[in-house]
Each structure stands twice: as C-alpha cells, then as structure tokens.
Structure 1
Amino acid sequence: MTKTLTIMLLAGAMICSAAVAPARADIYRYEDEEGVVHFTDAPTDKRFKVFMRDIKRDKKLRTTFRLANCARDPKEFEPIIDQCALEFGVDRSLVKAVIHAESGYNPNALSPKGASGLMQLMPKTAKDLKVANSFDPKDNIKGGVRYLRFLLDTFKGDVTLALAAYNAGMSRVAQYGGVPPYQETRTYIDRVLSYQKSYQTN
C-alpha cells in the first residue's frame, strides 16, 4: 500500500468516525498534487470543495448522500477488479488507478454532480451500461471497466485520451481534438497515470 493511499484511507476513517455524531457543519475536501486528500469544516483555501453537507441544514441530501462505510481496504475489491479487467481486456493497474483517483476506494462516494460509487459513474452513463446499482462494488466496477474498454477502443488504445474522456466527456475531447484545456482534466490524467505506474511497480 502506498503512503498516499494510506493517508487517504486514514482520512476517510476520520470522516466516517465524525459521521457517527450528528452533522453540525459542511465538510470540505481537496486532493493535493501528491494525491493526499485533505478534509476540513473550515476551509481556508479555494481548492476545498464541499464533500458532505450538514444534513440538518440541507434536507435534500438526506436520502441521497451516502457516507457510511467510507474508504475500504483496496484488497477487498481485487477479485472483482481482476475478473472485470480480464473480461474486458483492460489493464488491472489502470482500473485500480481510476478507482483510486475517482473515489479513494469508497464504494458509497457521491459527487455533487451525481457521479457515484467506486468508479464515479454518472447516472446516464450507468443507465447506458445497464448498471443496476452504482453503489454495489461489483456492478460499479463492471460498468466502469466496460466504459473504459469502450473509451480505449474509441480512441484506438490511447490511454491519455480515454482518461480525458472519462473525466471531461467524449464531446469535450472531440471538441478540442484531444485533451481539453482544463487544469482539472490534465491533473486527473497525470494523477491516474502516476497511480497506474505505482500499482504496476507494486
């Protein structure tokens, strides 16, 4: 397990522990250049984004935000990852890297835009992939790996463009004829490729 992943899992455990008590304030997070995730309830940096809202103050998220069982041991998902990677012919280290970057191995992760689960599938994408439950690790990983296979085929095996499309959407990649000029997307690609290399080494 890498140092970065260890820090992420510890951070997730801290948030889970905090969730036992009644929510009193929004929780914010951001992931730095080293892949370390930071959490706070009093952000002092514009890079912090809302991770969990105070459910007493924002009732609309009461039934949609799932925090229980935060980040889990990555080894728990290896059999599913191996099976799906083999089935769809996708490098298992790439699958792990995407999961690491997207959710930090939290099967109940839910983004403000509605992306959910380990591989952060958007509702429409999940529906198109026939994913019955995005919060189910097996369903989510199978759908996510199938989508990665589709993107890799679409971009003739170009992993960078496939990741750009995974993050920003195929239409944006087509619009700019390559990686969109978004810092978020470029950082995402670098992070996933770095994680992939680390998983290959380990």
Structure 2
Amino acid sequence: MKLSPPEQHQSDSVVLNNDYPLEQDTSVKAPKRSIKASYSENGILNDIGVEKRRVYQYQNADGITVFSDKSPQHNDYQVLLYECFACRPESTIDWYKIPLNTADYKHFVNNAARQHKLDAALIRAVIHAESAFKEKAVSRVGAKGLMQLMPVTAKEMGVLDSLNAADNINGGSRYLAKLLKQFKGDLELACAAYNAGPSNVLKHNGVPPFPETQAYVKRVQILYKRYQKAHRAS
C-alpha cells in the first residue's frame, strides 16, 4: 500500500523521574554508553493531573544516550510513556473538558476510517487515549506510536514502522476494526480488548476487572462522543 508523506506535527515530551543527570558536560569525550532511566511510579501525570517535567531522550554526536529537559534541535528522539495516556485510574483529568485535537493527522485518520469502515471520531478518540497524539511514544512494555501498537500486533497488521504516523494509524485502525468485528460491534468490549487483549475479554466474559482497563474503556467512550460532536460541528 502506498502511503502519503508524513504530515507536519509537534513532537512531545517524555515523563520520567529525576534520578539521573539532565545536563552533561559535552566538553569531555565519553565512551559510548547508555544511560538507563527509571520510570515514575506515578505514571505520566502527577497527583493533580498535570504532566511532570518534560524530558527528551536522544543520542548525541558521541553516541551517548541523553535524557534532557531541553528539546533537541533535531527530530531523532523518542517519547517514553509509563502507560497509556487514559489508563491511570486515579488521574484527575476532566475527560469531559480536556482539549480535543481535531486537526493533527487528519488525512491519515480519514483514510484509515474509509479503508476500515470506522468512524474517524473513534480512531481519534483511541489515539488521544493511547498516546495523547505523541507520534514517537514508546511505552515501558514496548507499545509504540500514536495508537500504541505492540510489536506482535504491528506485525500481524502489516505495520512496517510503528513510529510512522500513517503506518501506525492504518495498522491500529485495522486492529480496532478486527476487534469490533470479533465482538459483534460492541464498542465497550472492543476497546477493552484493544487495551487488555481479546483473550482477557473472553476469559472474563466482558470488560476485565482491571482498574486500568475499566478506566480506559470509560474514557475512550467519553472522548469518542466528544469527537463525534466536534466533527458534526466542523
């Protein structure tokens, strides 16, 4: 399948804790090594629902992996997430009022909606819930990109590069359509399967009793209704 060239977007931050140096002395040549970062146990939000310090991961000219609170001057960096944006049960974000994103990746979302017979508002809601529109997001368990595809899922859906917006959205939408078909159009179950896996939905004969999954399902549905309303108004 021929993909359109990537649309312009704004990359965002990583959120980690502060047990590593954020600035390094670049005047001293250091051997190639990787600095390991620890994830915050509080996830990507603090207790009042606000993102913590922004930290960027990238490699410098000496091949050293750097974590910095300053945005790099190039695009070769990644966003690391503790978990999906909408999965934290104790998040105090007001999901009925959080700003929507109806513009970014519009061409890719609309193409995927047509190809996989999905509502574009649903695709946008899942992207918002999974990564908050961070194209280079990588979770602690290895899920990647806007729709946070696990490597096995990405491979099954024919995704060559999960950090490519067009490829990720197309593959994530294909997977979402597959789950909706498997669960006979039940949006709640399809969203639960997207988050926790279809085997867990079948095992529990419904939305699994995992707080993260239950929070995710509820918030996707809230976002979906809001994106539907926004699309109708546009």
TM-score (norm 1): 0.72
How many residue pairs get matched?
Answer: 170
C-alpha distance in structure 1 between counterparts of 2:115 and 2:65, whole Å: 39
Counting only pairs closer than 5 Å after superposition, residues 1-202 of structure 1 correspond to structure 2 as 12=12, 22=23, 26=38, 28=40, 29-31=43-45, 36-40=49-53, 66-67=78-79, 75-202=103-230
- Where 1:157 maps in the other structure, the secondary structure is coil
Unaligned 5+ residue runs, structure 2?
1-9, 16-21, 25-34, 68-76, 81-100
C-alpha distance in structure 1 between counterparts of 2:146 and 2:113, whole Å: 15
CA distance 1:32–1:99, shift in 2 (3 Å): farther
C-alpha RMSD of the superposition:
3.6
C-alpha distance in structure 2 between counterparts of 1:82 and 1:128, whole Å: 22
Sequence identity (%): 38
- Where 2:218 maps in the other structure, the secondary structure is helix
CA distance 1:132–1:172, shift in 2 (3 Å): same
**Offset, 1:22:** 3.4
For the pair shown, the structure with the greater C-alpha radius of gyration is 2
- Where 1:110 maps in the other structure, the secondary structure is strand
Note if contact 1:121-1:144 (Cα within 8 Å) is conserved in structure 2. yes
Unaligned 5+ residue runs, structure 1?
1-9, 16-20, 42-50
Note if contact 1:74-1:105 (Cα within 8 Å) is conserved in structure 2. no
CA distance 1:194–1:60, shift in 2 (3 Å): same
- Where 1:39 maps in the other structure, the secondary structure is coil
Larger relative contact order (C-alpha < 8 A, sep ≥ 6)? Answer: 2
Note if contact 1:27-1:39 (Cα within 8 Å) is conserved in structure 2. no
Q: Which amino acid aligns with 2:228?
A: Q
**Offset, 1:173:** 0.5
Note if contact 1:109-1:118 (Cα within 8 Å) is conserved in structure 2. yes
**Offset, 1:166:** 0.3
